[in-house]
């Protein structure tokens, strides 16, 4: 039989193309209006220059957007998503074709004719099966296994959205199968089932000799498909599934400047003159940050990896996006509601995103490293902290160290004049304090921790010994050095950051050196990425690696004595600066080393709870300290020595070894100290 | 509501190694960092919070040389409306009594409903200025106050006694309250907050303008004379008591006894 | 100086120990100056003077219900009248929180010089000297009093050891209350107990504090027993609270309770600055820790490097035996 084409079948007397036109017009018009309303919020937001380096951005969009590069970090869910995404790409042509078939029974997309068209039709049919299976698996995963990262603590009604979308997609597939299946049945060509498995499968359930039913299924399936399609399209921008539209642009516009913090407001000459510093409301965020909120798919990978979330602090990065998106949808609705009762109005920063959440972040960057579509969190957290700082609402435990840095240049409250006092313990040689105008090859930036914390002074001494032993020409700034400002900036006190960094820059410029070297990744990061003037800076692990590869230094395995060693990647060395390999190569050059990698290593390293001023921050909510969790991870792989390359990791983990009662079973040591002790 | 807060500019000695000056009448202060007396930080915060609640004007006054401007700016950033710096060279070497004399003379001529200050200053640790000033102004006062409520021309407050006991009291305004640390959570003052108040002028008032007799200020106005200061005898770092655990413990017990540390 | 006075401090009907220490200081000065000691009691119950009369040759009592508590305004106004005819004198009081409320105002009212929180006082060649501490308690300062016929001293607890005297019963002299209590501008309402716990470490003079070095499943009774023996309270650092071994109000530190003890015994505490930041003043700090590199030893006066399980029981026994 010849099946009745949808375009040829009037509906209630009206010609089908007219109906198709009305549906198309109304849907597209509504969609455009919603999109306009959504994007209008971005227009009201703070500026953000994201149009530089177009080629890099395109590449990123290709690789991480279309290529879904980060998806397989969660293997199962990643594969499902890749299949679904690929299905979407393939089926988009099919959808266009079907829309056209409402107007003309023979409509096809140019070039999709003949054998190409046949191949596409066949591919499409396989895709429909795959997508339907993926949807069913995804529904079962959520409903039966409900992974914790999909939860929405503190808000209601978000879980159902996933079922709505999976249901809609399944419905699209099923209606497509009904539409094609009925034609397949009517054509009677059963031999082609391996080319069109979806249609063939659907046809099994259809009568072969009932033209009226087949026509009804074919036309009905078509219109149902069209309605589900436009329903889905218009559901996207009013749900979490906006990411289907915004994710790829979001990757394209993602942050290319790793390791640094955005200025208070882009394009402002003197931010201090602004009426408000920092972000208190939705439109205080930059347009890209609001696009982030739109784009979050609630997959929860960020929160799953967030150390603060893991130990029970109030923070869940995902929920920041979810809550901000809810706030955006509510306060910038598609259709203006009548005026709201201001008494019930909640502030975005303070009420919806609480101070506890804002201060709980260690800026470790695990969330950003994990997000498949590059949603940013650190800049937002810092922007909100800037607002709290501006209002004076700072946890008491952080106020004192900040004030000390303001007055004395270090959080320890120690006197400036004692900044070089640690060098007095070195008997074998003297550490030179570089005076203005003098030259040395290396300027050793000790930072406040190395200068004043008794435990960290030991690292400073070890490092000085290594450099002296290898006859390197190095010097320190002595009391001209100020705190690097890395945490000051990340805690949102931009003015103080400008003060301390400005003093350091002045001191750097008044002296001659080839490069700065620091063993504290926070100082390294600040100088490398935050300081407005470029200085060449390397990390101690890089310097040691250089010495080893030049063959000027030889190591022995005596100190390690055959113990199992693992390496803990410091956030500000690894994630923020991509230095993963040098420390490992240094370690592996120790003769006879027994090296084991922890499950969470490289970009998945687990923050020890933060450095710099965060050492002073005391969190009341956490059930376990991050360092303790980290020690357990090391114990699980049988490590006896944790090597790190950050003084704060060392302090936190050393503390945690004691609190978990593992003294004597496992030791933590800084790479610098280990090399010092392993040098013959 | 006119609130006057008396702030002290004190050397930060908590972390510093102190040495006695050549005259042995004071310590060497050249290397010390000066800062707002920590107790007074709570006083200015309380003033700002009272102003936020009941309205009024907060005036900050400090008897300190020009270097203390940072402290007064910080007070303005915390919410004070005006600040005065009272200093003349003749005021050098004054004790709490001499300082109270200057302050009372200054405050007498201005409206005051509530005077706030910290109970103690970290430098002399005497805890005398508040009470003396109130007596000179003939207004009631209270020290070590850990909670204040202003209502109906009265100040209801709670002050600390020992052993977890507090006394709840009230005073008629005008009155002076010397606060305890911890009665509030002082706000953070950012660099920007201070910059916002840079345009406010901080008048420097000399003793002539206050109209106080030179003989009443500084060393000549003081009633207490420091004869000599000295470092209490103590070693650098801990003296490690060696020996077997039992021996060391026994020795420690004796030391505690000698030091009168066994209650 | 023609007279030495001691003002008695009382609370809830009981003479406080600060009074006896002030009397001890008064006795020393009275023998050095060769003048009689007079104790002054302002109380709602004149019978309290009985206990004082065994310790001082003369007791002056002003009885009035207003003196149920130590109301500073009432005390200042009363003493101003009572001491008017007295010529030159030294007035001694304990350096307590109640007395800190009126000592400075009183000195102005009496036109006297004041030295607070004195740990020593002596008369040399007829001149009075007092010793007190300055600059975060890091400096001792010896002071004298210029052109002053009248001096008020408050005496730091523990500075003048007190021993009951066998003196003959002193004369009790009743003085009429010279003030009208209804005219006072400062009024007592009630006592308030802190909503803390059973222990107030903030005002304790002797603190035995335990840290993570006491192990995972410590027997806290051992440490409590030592604290009891020493007449102190048991406190701790954060990890102990984290492990729910002690409630939060026992925690010393910047996020816990700030303490100002005279003696601080740190057991198994490494000396993190968050913890040390909560210890104000400069107590006699003694540390026991098995890690010789623990920072606590840098700030402690005395230290033992060793195992707490071995040291603490012995220490407890020794202190018990020394106390007799």
Residue C312 and residue C113: Cα distance in Å, rounded?
47
Confidence of residue B234 (pLDDT cuts 50, 70, 90): very low
Residue B208 has pLDDT above 70, yes or no: yes
> Are C102 and C72 contacting, i.e. CB atoms less than 8 angstroms apart?
yes
Q: Which SS3 state, helix, strand or coil, does residue B130 take?
A: helix
Name the residue with tokens 């003060």.
A499
pLDDT at B235: 42
DSSP assignment letter at C13:
T
Rounded mean pLDDT of A560-586?
A: 96
pLDDT digits (tens, 9 = 90+) for A80-125: 999 999 999 999 999 999 999 999 998 989 888 889 999 999 999 9
Closest CA to C186 of C75, C96, C94, C81: C75
**pLDDT tens-digit readout, C238-284:** 778 777 788 878 888 766 688 888 899 999 998 776 677 678 777 88
* Gap from C248 CA to chain A (nearest CA, Å): 11
User: Which of 1.10.1580, 2.20.28, 3.40.50, 1.10.10 is the CATH number of A412-542?
Assistant: 3.40.50
Residue A216 near residue A210, CB atoms below 8 Å: no
Kindly write down the DSSP assignment for every residue of B161-192, as one continuous string: -STTEEEEEEEESSEEEEEPTTSS-PPP--HH
The DSSP result for C187-249, as a single string, is EEEEEEE-SS-S--GGG-SEEEEE-GGG-SS--HHHHHHHHHHHT-EEEE-HHHHHTTSS-GG
CB B258 within 8 A of CB C321: no
The partner residues of A595 in beta bridges, in order of sequence, read A565
Structure tokens at B222: 């003081």
- Please tell me the distance from the alpha carbon of residue A279 to that of residue A290, in angstroms, as a whole number: 12
* Test the A interface: residue of C241, C255, C271 with most A CBs within 10 Å: C255
Task: Tell me the average pLDDT of chain B.
Answer: 90
Domain covering C201-323: architecture: 3-Layer(aba) Sandwich (3.40)
Q: Let me know the angle formed at the C-alpha of A372 by A366 and A375, rounded to the nearest 5 degrees.
A: 65
Mean pLDDT over each residue of chain C, to the nearest integer: 87
Query: Cis ω on the peptide bond leading into residue A486 (within 30° of 0)?
Result: no
- Give the distance from residue B167's alpha carbon to the nearest chain C alpha carbon, in angstroms: 4
Q: Do A272 and B192 touch (CB under 8 A)?
A: yes
pLDDT for position C255: 61
Q: Looking at residue A362, what is its pLDDT?
A: 95
Which residues on adjacent β-strands are paired with residue C124? C127
Distance CA A523, CA A546 (A): 20
What CA–CA distance (Å, rounded) separates B67 from B65? 6
Instruction: Name the residue of chain B whose CA is nearest to C289's CA.
Output: B240
Chain segment B73-95, per-residue pLDDT in tens: 999 999 999 999 999 999 988 99
Count of H-run helices and E-run strands, chain B:
8, 13
Tell me if C274 and A658 make a contact (CB, 8 A cut-off). Answer: no
pLDDT tens, residue by residue, C8-57: 999 999 998 889 989 999 999 999 999 999 999 999 999 999 889 888 88
**Closest alpha carbon to C239 in A336, A628, A265:** A628
Alpha-carbon torsion (B52, B54, B55, B56), positive or negative: negative
pLDDT digits (tens, 9 = 90+) for A444-459: 999 999 999 889 999 9
User: Using alpha carbons only, what angle is made at residue C55 by residues C53 and C61, rounded to the nearest 5 degrees?
Assistant: 35
**Alpha-carbon torsion (A554, A559, A560, A562), positive or negative:** positive
Answer CATH for C3-183 from 3.30.1600.10, 3.40.50.720, 3.40.50.620, 3.30.1370.60: 3.40.50.620
Contact at 8 Å (CB) between A601 and A637?
no
Nearest C-alpha in A relative to B45: A392
Question: Is the pLDDT confidence value at A156 over 90?
Answer: no
- Give the whole-number percent of chain C exceeding pLDDT 70: 93
Share of chain A above pLDDT 90, in %: 80
What are the boundaries of each domain within chain C? 3-183, 201-323
Cβ distance of A272 and B16 shorter than 8 Å: no
In this prediction, residue B69 carries a pLDDT of 92
pLDDT in tens, A466-504: 999 999 999 999 999 999 999 999 999 999 999 999 999
Shortest distance, CA C20 to any CA of chain A (angstroms)? 40
The reported pLDDT for the residue numbered B135 is: 97
Contacts of A483 (CB under 8 A, 6+ apart): A405, A409, A410, A411, A447, A448, A500
Helix (H, G, I), strand (E, B) or coil at C89: strand
| ipTM of the shown complex | 0.88
Tell me which chain A residue has its CA closest to the CA of residue B195: A272
Rounded to whole angstroms, the Cα distance separating B29 from B11 reads: 7
**Which pLDDT belongs to residue A413?**
82
Q: Using the beta-carbon criterion (under 8 Å), do A415 and B15 form an inter-chain contact?
A: yes
Buried b (16+ CB within 10 A) or exposed e, C139-166: bbbbbbbeebebbbbbbbbebbeeeeee
Mean pLDDT of chain A: 93
Q: How far apart are CA C46 and CA C63, in angstroms?
A: 6
User: Residue A594, class by beta-carbon neighbours within 10 Å (0-12 exposed, 13-18 middle, 19+ buried)?
Assistant: middle
> A167-181, A304-318, C143-157: which range is least confident on average?
C143-157
Is the pLDDT at C105 greater than 50, yes or no? yes
- Measured CA to CA, the distance from residue A572 to residue A551 in angstroms comes to 28
- Domain spanning A564-677, CATH architecture: 3-Layer(aba) Sandwich (3.40)
Q: Which residues contact A398 (CB under 8 A, 6 or more apart)?
A: A359, A491, A613, A616, A617
Separation CA A402–CA A392 (nearest Å): 12
Chain B residues in contact with A488 by the CB 8 A cut-off are none
pLDDT band at A338 (very low <50, low <70, confident <90, very high): low
A568 close to A592: Cβ distance less than 8 angstroms: no
The yes or no reply on domain A271-390 and CATH 1.10.1060 is yes
What does each C-alpha distance from C249 to A382, C243, C252 come to in angstroms?
Answer: 33, 14, 8
Question: Could C76 and B135 be called an inter-chain contact, meaning their C-beta atoms sit closer than 8 Å?
Answer: yes
pLDDT in tens, B173-202: 999 999 988 788 889 999 999 999 999 999
Q: What is the pLDDT of residue A343?
A: 55
Tell me the C-alpha distance between B143 and B125, whole Å. 14
Domain covering B2-221, topology? Rossmann fold (3.40.50)
Residue B78 contacts residue B189 (beta carbons within 8 Å): yes
Question: In 3-state terms, what secondary structure has residue C3?
Answer: strand
Q: CA angle, A28 as apex, A22 and A34 as ends, to 5°? A: 130
How far does CA B135 lie from the centroid of its chain?
A: 17
Q: Which residues contact A388 (CB under 8 A, 6 or more apart)?
A: A278, A349, A355, A358, A394, A492
Asked if C134 lies within 8 A of B135 by C-beta distance, the reply is no
CB contact under 8 A, B191 and A413: no
Q: Which of residues 245-304 of C touch B (CB under 8 A)?
A: 258, 262-263, 284, 286-288, 292, 296-304
Cα separation of C148 and C235, whole Å? 45
Confidence of residue B263 (pLDDT cuts 50, 70, 90): low
Percentages helix, strand, coil for chain A (3-state, rounded to 5) are 55, 5, 35
- Of A241-255, A353-367, C201-215, minimum mean pLDDT range: C201-215
State whether residue C100 sits within 8 Å of chain B by CB. Answer: yes
Phi/psi for A29 (5° steps) reads -60, -45
What does DSSP assign to residue A14? B
Chain B residues with beta carbon closer than 8 angstroms to that of A498: 191
Radius of gyration over alpha carbons of chain C, in Å? 22
pLDDT value for A337: 65
Q: What is the mean pLDDT of residues A47-58?
A: 96
Counting every residue written for chain C, the total comes to 324
| Per-residue model confidence as pLDDT tens digits over A383-412 | 999 999 999 999 877 888 898 899 889 998
Query: Is residue B257 scored above 90 in pLDDT?
Result: no
CB contacts of B15 in chain A (<8 Å) are 413-415
At residue A136, the pLDDT reads 95
| CA distance linking residue A389 with residue B164, whole number of Å | 34
């Amino acid at each position: 039989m010849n099946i009745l084409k949808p375009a040829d079948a009037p509906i209630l007397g009206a010609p089908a193309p007219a109906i198709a036109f009305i549906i198309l017009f109304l849907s597209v018009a509504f969609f455009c209006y919603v999109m306009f309303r959504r994007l209008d919020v971005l227009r009201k937001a703070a500026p953000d220059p994201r149009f530089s380096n177009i080629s890099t951005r395109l590449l990123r969009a290709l690789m991480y957007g279309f290529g879904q590069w980060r998806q397989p970090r969660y293997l199962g869910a990643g594969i499902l998503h890749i299949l679904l995404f690929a299905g979407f790409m393939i089926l988009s042509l099919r959808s266009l074709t079907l829309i056209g078939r409402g107007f003309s029974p023979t409509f096809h997309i140019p070039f999709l004719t003949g054998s190409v068209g046949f191949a596409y039709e066949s591919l499409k049919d396989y895709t429909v099966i795959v997508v339907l299976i993926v949807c069913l698996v995804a529904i079962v995963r959520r409903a039966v296994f409900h992974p914790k990262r999909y939860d929405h603590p503190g808000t209601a009604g978000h879980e159902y959205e996933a079922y709505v979308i999976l249901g809609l997609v399944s419905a699209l597939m099923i209606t497509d199968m009904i539409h094609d299946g009925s034609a397949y049945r009517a054509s009677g060509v059963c031999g082609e089932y391996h080319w069109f498995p979806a249609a063939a499968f659907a046809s099994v359930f259809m009568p072969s000799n009932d033209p009226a039913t087949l026509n009804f299924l074919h036309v009905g399936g078509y219109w149902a498909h069209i309605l589900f399609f436009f329903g889905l399209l218009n559901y996207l921008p009013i749900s979490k599934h906006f990411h289907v539209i915004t994710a790829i642009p979001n990757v394209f516009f993602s942050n290319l400047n790793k390791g640094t913090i955005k200025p208070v407001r882009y394009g402002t000459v003197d931010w201090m003159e602004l009426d408000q510093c920092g972000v208190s409301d939705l439109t205080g965020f930059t347009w890209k940050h609001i696009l982030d909120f739109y784009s979050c798919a609630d997959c929860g990978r960020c929160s799953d990896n967030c150390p603060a979330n893991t130990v029970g602090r109030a923070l869940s990065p995902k929920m920041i996006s979810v809550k901000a998106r809810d706030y955006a949808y509510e306060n910038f609705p598609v259709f203006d509601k009548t005026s709201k009762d201001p008494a019930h109005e909640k502030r975005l920063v303070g009420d919806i995103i609480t101070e506890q959440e804002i201060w709980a972040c260690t800026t470790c960057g695990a969330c950003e490293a994990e997000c498949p579509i590059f949603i940013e969190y650190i800049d937002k957290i810092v922007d909100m902290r800037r607002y709290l700082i501006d209002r004076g609402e700072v946890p008491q435990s952080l106020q004192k160290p900040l004030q000390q840095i303001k007055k004395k240049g270090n959080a320890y409250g120690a006197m400036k004049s004692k900044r070089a006092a640690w060098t007095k313990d070195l008997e074998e040689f003297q550490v030179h304090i570089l005076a203005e105008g003098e030259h040395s090859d290396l300027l050793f930036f000790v930072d406040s921790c190395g200068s004043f914390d008794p435990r960290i002074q030991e690292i400073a001494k070890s490092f000085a010994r290594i450099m002296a032993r290898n006859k390197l020409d190095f010097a320190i700034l002595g009391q001209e050095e100020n705190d690097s400002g890395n945490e000051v900036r990340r805690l949102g006190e931009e003015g103080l950051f400008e003060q301390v960094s400005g003093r350091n820059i002045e001191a750097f410029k008044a002296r001659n050196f080839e490069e700065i070297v620091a063993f504290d990744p926070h100082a390294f990061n600040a100088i490398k990425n935050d300081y407005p003037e470029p200085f060449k800076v390397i990390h101690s692990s890089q310097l040691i690696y250089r010495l080893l590869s030049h063959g000027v230094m030889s190591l022995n395995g005596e100190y390690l004595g055959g113990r199992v060693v693992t390496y803990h990647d410091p956030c500000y060395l690894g994630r923020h600066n991509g230095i993963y390999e040098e420390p490992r190569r240094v370690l592996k050059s120790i003769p006879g080393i027994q090296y084991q990698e922890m499950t969470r290593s490289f970009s998945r390293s687990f923050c020890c709870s933060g450095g710099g001023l965060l050492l002073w921050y005391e969190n009341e909510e956490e059930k376990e300290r991050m360092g303790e969790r980290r020690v357990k991870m090391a114990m699980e792989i049988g490590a006896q020595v944790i090597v790190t390359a950050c003084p704060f990791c060392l302090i936190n983990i050393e503390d945690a070894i004691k609190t978990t009662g593992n003294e004597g079973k496992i030791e933590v040591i800084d790479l610098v100290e280990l090399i010092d002790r392993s040098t013959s | 509501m006119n609130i006057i807060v008396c702030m002290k500019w004190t050397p930060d000695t908590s972390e510093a190694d102190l040495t006695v000056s050549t005259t042995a009448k004071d310590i060497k202060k050249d290397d010390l960092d000066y800062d707002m007396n920590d107790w007074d930080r709570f006083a200015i915060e309380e003033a700002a919070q009272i102003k936020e609640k009941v309205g009024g004007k907060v005036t900050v006054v400090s008897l300190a040389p020009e270097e203390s401007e940072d402290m007064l700016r910080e007070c303005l950033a915390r919410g004070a409306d005006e600040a005065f710096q009272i200093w003349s060279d003749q005021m050098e070497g004054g004790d709490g009594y001499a300082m109270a004399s200057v302050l009372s003379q200054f405050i007498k001529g201005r409206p005051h409903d509530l005077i706030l200050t910290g109970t103690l200053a970290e430098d002399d640790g005497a805890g005398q200025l508040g009470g003396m000033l109130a007596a000179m102004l003939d207004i009631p006062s209270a020290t070590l106050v850990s909670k204040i409520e202003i209502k109906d021309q009265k100040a209801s407050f709670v002050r600390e006694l020992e052993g977890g006991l507090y006394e709840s009291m009230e005073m008629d305004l005008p009155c002076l309250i010397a606060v305890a640390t911890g009665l509030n959570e002082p706000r953070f003052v950012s660099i920007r907050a201070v910059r916002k108040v840079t345009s406010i002028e901080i008048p420097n008032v000399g003793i002539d303008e206050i109209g106080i007799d030179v003989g009443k200020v500084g060393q000549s106005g003081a009633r207490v004379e420091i004869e000599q200061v000295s470092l209490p005898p103590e070693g650098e770092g801990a003296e490690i008591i060696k020996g077997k655990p039992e021996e060391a413990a026994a020795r420690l017990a004796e030391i505690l006894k000698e030091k009168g540390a066994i209650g | 100086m023609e007279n030495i006075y001691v003002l008695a401090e009382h609370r809830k009907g009981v003479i406080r120990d600060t009074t006896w220490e002030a009397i001890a200081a008064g006795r020393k000065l009275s023998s050095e100056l060769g003048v009689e000691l007079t104790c002054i009691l302002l109380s709602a119950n004149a019978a309290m003077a009985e206990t004082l009369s065994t310790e001082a040759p003369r007791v002056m009592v002003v009885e009035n219900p207003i003196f149920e508590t130590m109301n500073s305004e009432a005390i200042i106004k009363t003493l101003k009248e009572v001491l008017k005819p007295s010529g030159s004198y030294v007035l001694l009081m304990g350096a307590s929180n109640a007395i800190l409320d009126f000592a400075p105002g009183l000195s102005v009212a009496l036109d006297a010089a004041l030295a607070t929180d004195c740990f020593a006082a002596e008369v040399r060649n007829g001149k009075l000297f007092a010793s007190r501490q300055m600059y975060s308690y890091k400096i001792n300062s010896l002071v004298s009093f210029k052109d002053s016929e009248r001096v008020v001293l408050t005496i730091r607890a523990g500075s003048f050891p007190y021993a009951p005297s066998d003196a003959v019963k002193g004369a009790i002299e009743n003085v009429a209350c010279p003030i009208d209590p209804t005219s006072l501008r400062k009024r007592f309402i009630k006592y308030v107990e802190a909503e803390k716990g059973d222990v107030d470490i903030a005002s304790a003079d002797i603190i035995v504090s335990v840290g993570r070095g006491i192990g995972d499943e410590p027997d806290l009774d051992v440490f409590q027993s030592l604290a009891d023996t020493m007449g102190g309270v048991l406190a701790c650092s954060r990890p102990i609270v984290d492990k729910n071994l002690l409630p939060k109000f026992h925690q010393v530190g910047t996020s816990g309770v700030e303490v100002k003890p005279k003696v601080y015994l740190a057991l198994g505490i490494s000396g993190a600055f968050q913890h040390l930041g909560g210890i104000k003043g400069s107590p006699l700090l003694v540390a026991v820790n098995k890690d010789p590199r623990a920072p606590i030893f840098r700030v402690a006066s005395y230290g033992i490097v060793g195992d707490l399980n071995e040291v603490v029981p012995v220490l407890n026994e020794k202190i018990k035996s020394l106390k007799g």
